């Protein structure tokens, strides 16, 4: 083994490999974000369905409006 083989610079990973890894991690992050959003929507919807009609009237919605209301709340962050 020569000195060149011991001291040669280590090649950096190719850009295509890094791009592929970055894309895969972004896909995983998107998957987790969708799951988290779905879980939040389900919890809010369940909480609203558990209220009686008097409380829903105080909020200003009906039972039929609960799915649209939950989506609106989670999109606007209110």
- Rounded Cα distance between 11 and 37, Å, is 41
Domain that holds residue 72: 45-78
- Kindly report, residue by residue over 14-59, the tens digit of the pLDDT: 678 888 888 889 989 999 999 999 999 999 999 999 999 999 999 9
Place of tokens 């409380």: 55
- Asked if the structure places residue 38 within a domain, the reply is no
- Asked if the structure places residue 16 within a domain, the reply is no
- Asked if the structure places residue 62 within a domain, the reply is yes
The tally of domains found in the chain comes to 1
pTM: 0.63
Other CB atoms closer than 10 Å to residue 66's CB: what's the count?
19
Contacts of 61 (CB under 8 A, 6+ apart): 48, 69
């Amino acid at each position: 083994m020569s000195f060149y083989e011991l001291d040669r610079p280590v090649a950096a990973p190719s850009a295509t490999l890094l791009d592929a890894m970055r894309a895969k991690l972004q896909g995983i992050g998107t998957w987790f974000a969708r799951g988290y959003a779905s879980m939040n929507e389900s919890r809010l919807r369940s909480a609203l369905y558990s209220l009686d009609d008097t409380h829903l009237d105080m909020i200003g919605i009906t039972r039929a409006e609960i799915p649209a209301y939950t989506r609106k709340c989670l999109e606007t962050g209110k």
